[in-house]
Homo-oligomer: A and B are copies of this chain.
Amino acid sequence: MKSIIEKYGHKRVVIVKGGITRHRSIFNGLKVFVENEFSNHLLQKPEVVIIHDAVRPFVEEDILSKVVMAAKEHGAAGAIRPLVSTVIASAADGCLDHSLERARYRASEMPQAFLFDIIYEAYQQCTDYDLDYGTECLHLALKYCKTNAKLVEGTADLWKVTYKRDLYAAESIIKDNLSQQVCVITDVKEAVAQIGFLLHETLKSQQIEAVSISLSKSDSHLQNIFSGQCYNFVCINDKKYAIQEAQQLVDMLEKSNLPLLYPVVLILMHLDISENISFSIGIEELTRIKKFAGEMKKKNILVYGLLIQYKDHLVLQKIVNSAAALIMALIKDRNPELIGQLLVA
């Protein structure tokens, strides 16, 4: 935990040692505000506390502010969701006793928010049995403080990462979110700019937010793109080894701290319009991209090569479509094993 906080530079976080059950951990967290009231300005007793599960990483700001507002008014509030399955009670013999009418019940999810004094009071009053076997904070507030929590409809994002399949789902959701925006970087030469324009339009027609900049006046534009959280860059160049140009972008990426949280995808797209009919890719070129990609990997930047070769303007759109499909496949997969490969559109 400490290394995570250091790595991402969180300044307003205090770690509290957990207990052997969920409720004991939460109680430990609450106690710190009372016991350390005068020693640390971060630990001044708050009016409202939010309790959340780390296994619900996709929580949105909107639901946080909703439960906080409701807690101010009602003393307690929690997110709820419709039940996915019918809930049943079993008898001692392992047979059905009764089933609950699904429409009348809800699943209690997180986040929950409380007036500090109410939830702290509830934890002080509750029994060891509650602390060892209970799981529901709203229940404690009701039982010990007579506080009927306000229930706030949450979105499907609040789901709990519980099983292996949930890790798969979480990974896909993150990759999906990172793939919505692509920045296309070109230099001013005509052929390069033309391909850049076509690629931009093709990506846009696929509901991808495409941003184009030319390398010559990139600085302030790029800063805007970095702060817009764009995690995907395509550099189009007609030089065979455009690694120097890429290095310039990499330096700026590093300064921006963008690759700290998620891997950035950088596709080096080489435009070959030579008349040479017996075109071939030399081992030196392959080795060079691989070596560069290996170094960039350490900076959490995933580099892939993409070659476009055409002599005939009539097939240009077809080749750009093929390039766009490869670009989107690379961006969506973010596969670290494929870095340094040179794909051909």
Interface residues of A (CB under 8 A from B): 74, 76, 78, 80-81, 83-91, 94-100, 102-109, 133, 135-136, 138-139, 142, 148-151, 156, 159-160, 162-163, 165-166, 168-173, 176, 278-283, 286, 290, 309, 325-326, 328-329, 333, 335, 337-338, 341-344
Contacts and interface: CB of A to CB of B under 8 A. Distances in A.
A107 B87 contact: yes
Contacts of A136: 86, 88, 99, 102
12 contacts: A80-B88, A83-B87, A84-B160, A84-B162, A87-B100, A90-B151, A91-B148, A99-B139, A102-B135, A103-B133, A280-B283, A338-B343
A144 B139 CA distance: 35
Given A86-B108, A281-B280, A282-B280, A338 B329 contact: yes
Q: Is the interface of A mostly helix, strand, loop or mixed?
A: mixed
A106 B88 contact: yes
A78 B85 CA distance: 13
A78 B94 CA distance: 11
B99 A87 contact: no
A31 to B, nearest CB: 23
Contacts of A109: 85
Of A83, A165, A176, chain B has the most CB atoms within 10 Å of the CB of A165
A87 B103 CA distance: 12
A302 to B, nearest CB: 12
Among A85, A103, A279, A280, max chain B CB count under 10 A is at A85
A159 B151 contact: no
B88 A108 contact: yes
B168 A96 contact: no
A281 to B, nearest CB: 5
A276 to B, nearest CB: 9
- Which among A97, A173, A280 has the greatest number of chain B C-beta atoms within 10 A? A280
A76 B107 CA distance: 27
Given A280-B281, A341-B341, 8 more contacts: A86-B108, A90-B151, A96-B149, A99-B108, A156-B165, A171-B172, A280-B280, A328-B337
Q: Which 4 A-B pairs have the closest CB atoms?
A: A168-B172, A329-B337, A165-B169, A85-B107
Contacts of A148: 91, 95-97
A84 B279 CA distance: 59
A151 B94 contact: yes
Given A95-B74, A150-B95, A326-B338, A135 B86 contact: yes
A150 B94 contact: yes
Contacts of A139: 86, 99
